[in-house]
Amino acid sequence: MGQEERIQNAYRGLGGKRTFYDGMITCSTLSGRAVCRLVWGMGRAETQDYLSAALSGIPEGFSGRLLEVPVGTGILTMPLYREMPEAEITCLDYSPEMLERAKSRGEGLAHVRFQQGDVGALPFGDGSFDIVLSLNGFHAFPDMQGCRKWLAAHGNWRTRGGWFWW
């Protein structure tokens, strides 16, 4: 089994109809709290503080172009995107299962577009976005080397806005 297949299998387990991923990323379930504490050394309050700090870089009333990569299941950002109807938002994730969960959470949000893809081969050019948001980091993508090369080659567009990492 190749790396790409292993990643897809992992996402199927996390991004499917089960709630482990959502509980982990929000620190809201018993197993999720255990992962937050053991892996990240944070409790629910620290997790919420971290999320608030990461999202604070998006100006109130933002009406520009935002890329979220990876979107995961959308549990962290879809509520925020409901409050940003003037923004053009692109949500990208490597996992079709995660993307389907995010789409269901973003139902009715005409200003939010969902796209399956790999951060190591982003199909966007310089100046495509004002803000790039990554709450889960690029660790979830199979081609980290490709990601670094893409960022180095396209660094000038990312200076137009902010990078917010979780």
Q: What is the CATH number of the domain that holds 142?
A: 3.40.50.150
Tokens standing for 129?
């976005």
Q: Is the pLDDT of residue 103 over 70?
A: yes
pLDDT of residue 79: 94
Give the model's confidence band at 107: pLDDT under 50 very low, under 70 low, under 90 confident, else very high: very high
Task: Flag the least confident range among 17-21, 23-27, 136-140, 147-151.
Answer: 136-140
Q: Is the pLDDT of residue 102 over 90?
A: yes
Range of the domain at 70: 3-165
The dihedral of CA 61, 110, 72, 16: what is its sign?
positive
Angle at 12 between CA 6 and CA 17, to 5 degrees: 165
Those residues with Cβ within 8 angstroms of residue 72's Cβ, 6 or more apart along the chain or in another chain: 15, 21, 25, 93, 98, 101, 102, 135, 136
Q: Give the number of domains in the chain.
A: 1
pLDDT of residue 63: 95
Tokens standing for 114?
């969902």
pLDDT of residue 111: 98
Q: Is the pLDDT of residue 155 over 50?
A: no
Give the model's confidence band at 9: pLDDT under 50 very low, under 70 low, under 90 confident, else very high: low
The model's pLDDT over 38-89, given as tens digits with 9 standing for 90+, comes to 887 888 898 888 888 888 889 999 999 999 988 989 999 999 999 999 999 9
Q: H-helix or E-strand containing 5?
A: helix 3-15
pLDDT of residue 83: 95
CA distances, 68 to each of 32, 75, 112 (Å): 22, 13, 10
DSSP character at residue 120: G
- Strand intervals (E) in the chain: 65-68, 88-93, 112-116, 131-134, 163-165
Over residues 108-129, the mean pLDDT reads 87
Counting residues of the chain whose pLDDT is more than 70, the rounded percentage is 70
Which of 90, 150, 91 shows the shortest CA–CA distance to 120? 150
Tokens standing for 162?
């902010």
29-43, 73-87, 116-130, 132-146: which has the highest mean pLDDT?
Answer: 73-87
Over residues 20-30, the mean pLDDT reads 86
Q: Which is more confidently placed, 107 or 15?
A: 107
SS3 68: strand
pTM for this prediction: 0.76
